[in-house]
Amino acid sequence: MKIKRKILVIGGAGFIGSNLCKELAKDKESEIFSLDNYSTGLKDNHAANVKYIYGNSWDISKHFNFKFDLIFHLGEYSRVEQSFKDVELVLESNVKGTFAVVEFWRKYGGKLIYAGSSTKFGDGGLARDMTPYNWTKAINTELVNNYGEWFQLSYAITYFYNVYGDGEIRTGEYATLIGIYAEKSSKGEPLPVVAPGVQLRNFTHVLDIIQGLIMVAEKGNGDDYGIGSDMQFSVLDVAKLFGGEIKMIPPRKGNRMYGELHTTKIKEIGWEAKYNLYDYISFLRDNNWENK
């Protein structure tokens, strides 16, 4: 018999959070809650059997006064290069917000699954201080680790690698690379490639990320659960896979050259990537660049 659990997804209306909520909601025995301020989340992402609360992460204690068995914290500012112009917002979301979340966790208990950033490992570790986003995400992993040890709390820290798939943002400053290329391909527009174009990325399908999150929630303990595809591409190679005209654009501050894949621990608990970028781009092309 399944145990009825209370589960909170912070950022549950966003790209990754909404896919996670849809998967969690398949368990009709559990109560699933989402806390989201809809800065990038959408009501169109809502799933059945999920209770959606509008609010900021730093106000978590104003919305809930009970223990969650699982807290997935995905609700932070999550763009690298743009974080230079959004410093105040980054600090509010990623420092003030996450501090409130860990204090709530300390008070009520449960297991916290924190979504760190793989930028922490970029360029041999130098990228962790490269942008306001990178830095706040890196120090938050230390905060979660320390709270877990100081107060004997249950937790696991995950790291995502360049997520793509259903629900990703395609337009505006928060759009993902794959989302941008799909949108521009649909309009026959040139694909922008930030110079020098040889930056390496491990693109990982969102459904692989969700599977990893759920496995870590059930079996993981502690830090270093990187969830990323072994397949690595340069940004220029990705543009070539989409086809069409390529437009080189100037280098951007904060754009790391490569990342270090940390997947040993996630593979030890049975995870492996099931999707690949080649098939996804072919799928988009066959569907006129829409993820139907």
HEC string for 39-59: CCCCHHHCCCCEEEEECCHHH
Q: In the prediction, which pLDDT does 258 show? A: 87
Q: In the prediction, which pLDDT does 65 show? A: 97
Q: Count Cα neighbours of 216 within 13 Å in the Cβ-side half-sphere.
A: 34
Give the residues of the chain that fall short of pLDDT 50: 1
Query: DSSP labels for 57-79?
Result: GGGHHHH--S--SEEEE--S---
The helix-helix angle for 15-24 and 206-219 (nearest 10°) equals 60
Q: In the prediction, which pLDDT does 1 show? A: 41
Query: How far is residue 66 from each of residues 6, 87, 105, 108, 229, measured CA to CA in Å?
Result: 9, 32, 10, 7, 37
Reduce the secondary structure of 1-36 to three states and give it as a string: CCCCCEEEEECCCCHHHHHHHHHHCCCCCCEEEEEE
- Domains detected in the chain: 6-286 (3.40.50.720)
Q: In the prediction, which pLDDT does 229 show? A: 98
